[in-house]
Amino acid sequence: MPEFQLLGQKPTRQGFGEGLVVLGERYDNVVVLGGDITESVMTSFFRDRFPDRFFSIGVAEQNATTIAVGLALSGKIPFFASYGAFCAFRNADQLRISVCYNNVNVKIGGGHAGVSVGPDGATHQALEEIAVIRTLPNMTLVVPCDYMETKKATIAIGEIWGPSYIRFGRANVPWFTTEDTPFRLGRAEIFRDGSDVALIACGAMVWQALLAADMLAKRGISACVINNHTIKPMDVETIITAACRCGAVVTAEEHQIYAGMGSAVAEVLAKNYPVPIEFVGVRDTFGGSGDPDELMEKFGLTWKSIYAAALVAIERRDKGSTGVRRPTEVPRFTPADGYAA
Amino acid sequence: MKAENLRIVFRSTVYENRPRRSEEFAEIAREIRRDIIKMLVLAGSGHSGGPLGTADIHAVLFFGGYMRYRPKDPWWPGRDRYVLSAGHLCPVLYATLARAGFFPVEELRTLRKYGSRLQGHPGRDMGLPGLETSTASLGQGISIAVGMALSDKWLDKSDRRVFALTGDGELQEGSVWEAAMAAAHYKLDNLCWIVDNNDCQIDGRVPNVMSIYPIDKKFEAFGFAVMQCDGHDYEELSTCLEQFLENHRRAIGKPTVIIARTKMGRGVSFMEDDYRWHGKPPTPEQALKALQELEDPYITVVEPAEV
Ligand SMILES: [Mg+2]
């Protein structure tokens, strides 16, 4: 089991930018398309290093996505990066037909994911891309947990064949994995072993899950933490095994709770091994302006929410074999209520 | 009458890609039009007007020696590529590819049938030789063509060329103009964009649905070398394609657009220039009449007993 310590604070977008440069060095058919926010999604590292393989397409996400298709059909490995709010929605039709139905080797980097975008506000805080992207056949979707893992995941999607989407963020977030931390696309990593409750997280919420597990341990609760970075195709085996062992699950993501990573876990468990699941995420509301840390707190995206949700999941499990609640017991969601302690 | 009551025979003739006289193009285009009618009546659904209206363009483009391709080696790396951005016109593309020898002509019978390589709209997943990309959501194919031309010109530094065809109603899609902007920005003189300007779309005449005119001035403003022609005149089409090849050879640093004025449903009297034929197939009775007009040597009605 890997042991983690905080190595610093770094944005995951930096891992994406650095990963692209590594790919550019390894493969001369890696090409990057810019969408006018090159510095912001850090494709500028690649542009400055390989100017002949960087093409600026301007503010035109639909065109950039389909130009990438033309490049892929010409034997190139094109990456197009923008903000997730634009490169998973504005171009959704292009992704569906020209990328995924066509089944071509196009890679999309969706930056500025989650409310941690901060002061730019709701328009720029992508909270629904996991839902859109994971319904597309042939697509690989990865949401790495920190700077180093984003770098590894960027390289990994460049080295597999097929449509892929990588989700990363803008703000500084805890950096805690190293070169040696295990990472393989399509395999969820158990970051902490435990037998009372499984905390299944992706993106920046993995660190929060580790913090929650520490706090639960103080109460004598043994929490397993799973870094479920590859949302499609999902590592079903690890998820089911953890549910069997713990009998209670909490999912945590910086995304809407509807149709996100947690829903994908619920689909797997409902079919294979139903256990009580609590979902930590944004509760059917838009984001807003604010300081990143403040917003994470406001929207219930911290260890405290995971901690509280774990206690609920355990309680539900202990009430009955599947912990099914009567309708009157199911709490109603109100915007941004979270599980804040 | 049902489609089974028609004796539908596909001639196995395959045509070479070489310089031709107008009369030869006319014969090839007539063969393609017969194929289209037969495919559609057998399928019982599909688009009639656009495919018939662009049969002449496809005949000249594929069989006049302008595009480089090898039907027996469909993914030959030196080939020129063709993208049918108006994917709903695919019956004309399938007939053209079959007549070029990319796959057996008999396969045209399978249009729109389950498991067929001839999907209702072009799908690359079925692995049809000669089909470069899936298309059909309008506006996307032309951007794909721009990506191909970008790769050929600036990354591979090859002399391959990319041909693409869009409809005129398709020009209402905003992303088409994003593609136009990028084609000019990257000086893609290896891109030949053909507009099938039949002035029709599903809801009616183009100016009544949403005017896109003047098309030529728009493309000029975007930085294209603009040509216009009668899309049913083989000599004019040939001249335009020759001019594009010349533009490419001289590396003029501009993409080329050929605005081809066509009539939807051309070649079948009762379909010609009528937008209501955009999206429907002929009934067996109509197919019989159409094939007689197109001088199909085989078409007859067979008695139910013979079926
Ligand atoms: Mg039209």
Contact B125 A101 (CB under 8 A): yes
Strands B191-197 and A77-83: unpaired
Q: What is the ipTM of this complex?
A: 0.96
Q: Is residue A125 located within the same domain as residue A204?
A: no
Question: In total, how many domains does chain A have?
Answer: 2
Contact A66 B186 (CB under 8 A): no
Question: What pLDDT is attached to residue A328?
Answer: 66
What is the average per-residue pLDDT within B162-190? 98
A318 in any annotated domain: yes
- Closest of A161, A44, A96, A129 to residue B136, by C-alpha: A96
CA angle B274, B277, B283 (to 5 degrees): 130
Q: Which of A143, A175, A207 is the last residue of a domain?
A: A175
Across the interface, of A67, A69, A101, the residue whose CB is closest to B182 is: A67
* Burial category of B106 from C-beta neighbours within 10 Å (exposed 0-12, middle 13-18, buried 19 and up): exposed
pLDDT digits 0-9 by tens, A124-141: 999 999 999 999 999 999
Question: Domain B3-306 belongs to what topology?
Answer: Rossmann fold (3.40.50)
Give the residue extent of every domain in chain B: 3-306
Using alpha carbons, list the distances in angstroms from residue B165 to A136, B83, B197: 27, 7, 10
What is the average per-residue pLDDT within A297-306? 96
Contact A74 B156 (CB under 8 A): yes
Q: Is the predicted pLDDT of residue B307 greater than 60, yes or no?
A: no
- What is the side-by-side strand order in the sheet with B191-197? B81-84, B162-167, B191-197, B256-261, B225-230
CATH number of the domain that residue A112 is part of: 3.40.50.970
Q: Is residue A234 located within the same domain as residue A123?
A: no
Helices B55-63, B22-43: inter-axial angle, 10-degree rounding: 120
Question: What pLDDT is attached to residue A330?
Answer: 58
A226 in any annotated domain: yes
Distance between CA atoms of residues B16 and B49, nearest Å: 26
Work out the percent of chain B whose per-residue pLDDT is above 90: 98
A134 in any annotated domain: yes
Interchain CB contact of A73 with B (< 8 Å): yes
**Ligand 1 center to residue B53 CA distance, Å?**
9
Q: Is residue A272 located within the same domain as residue A126?
A: no
Q: Is residue A130 located within the same domain as residue A216?
A: no
Q: Is the predicted pLDDT of residue A216 greater than 70, yes or no?
A: yes
Query: In this structure, which amino acid lies at residue A55?
Result: F
Residue A52: list chain B partners with CB under 8 A.
154-155
In whole angstroms, how large is the CA radius of gyration of chain B?
19
- Closest of B126, B120, B87 to residue B103, by C-alpha: B126
Contact A94 B179 (CB under 8 A): no
Q: Is the predicted pLDDT of residue B140 greater than 80, yes or no?
A: yes
Whether B83 contacts B148, CB under 8 Å: yes
Question: What pLDDT is attached to residue A320?
Answer: 73
What is the average per-residue pLDDT within A172-201? 98
Q: Is the predicted pLDDT of residue A170 greater than 80, yes or no?
A: yes
Residues 16-35 of A with CB under 8 A from B: 29, 31
Q: Which of A175, A206, A223 is the last residue of a domain?
A: A175
**Ligand 1 center to residue A107 CA distance, Å?**
33
Question: What pLDDT is attached to residue A341?
Answer: 38
**Ligand 1 center to residue B244 CA distance, Å?**
23
- Closest of A228, A218, A245, A221 to residue A280, by C-alpha: A228
Contact B186 A69 (CB under 8 A): no
- Closest of B131, B125, B127 to residue B79, by C-alpha: B131
Q: Which of A126, A147, A175 is the last residue of a domain?
A: A175
Q: Is residue A24 located within the same domain as residue A127?
A: yes
pTM to 2 decimal places: 0.96
Query: In this structure, which amino acid lies at residue B128?
Result: L
Distance between CA atoms of residues A15 and A10, nearest Å: 9
Q: Is residue A25 located within the same domain as residue A167?
A: yes
Q: Is the predicted pLDDT of residue A340 greater than 90, yes or no?
A: no
Look up the domain containing A270 and give its range: 189-323+331-339
What is the average per-residue pLDDT within B179-199? 98
Q: Is the predicted pLDDT of residue B191 greater than 70, yes or no?
A: yes
Contact B182 A57 (CB under 8 A): yes
User: B52 pLDDT band (50/70/90 cuts)?
Assistant: very high
Q: Which residue has the higher pLDDT, A328 or B300?
A: B300
List of residues 6+ apart from A273 with CB closer than 8 A = A240, A243, A244
Strands A189-192 and A223-227: antiparallel
Residue A102: list chain B partners with CB under 8 A.
124-125, 133-134
Distance between CA atoms of residues B151 and A308, nearest Å: 53
Interchain CB contact of A172 with B (< 8 Å): no
Contact B147 A66 (CB under 8 A): yes
Q: Is residue A135 located within the same domain as residue A239?
A: no
Q: Is the predicted pLDDT of residue A332 greater than 80, yes or no?
A: no
Look at the block and give the residue holding tokens 């300007």: B197
Question: What pLDDT is attached to residue A339?
Answer: 46
Q: Is residue A301 located within the same domain as residue A209?
A: yes
Residue B150: list chain A partners with CB under 8 A.
55, 67, 70-71
Q: Is residue A46 located within the same domain as residue A165?
A: yes
Helix segments in A27-72, DSSP class H: 44-49, 61-72
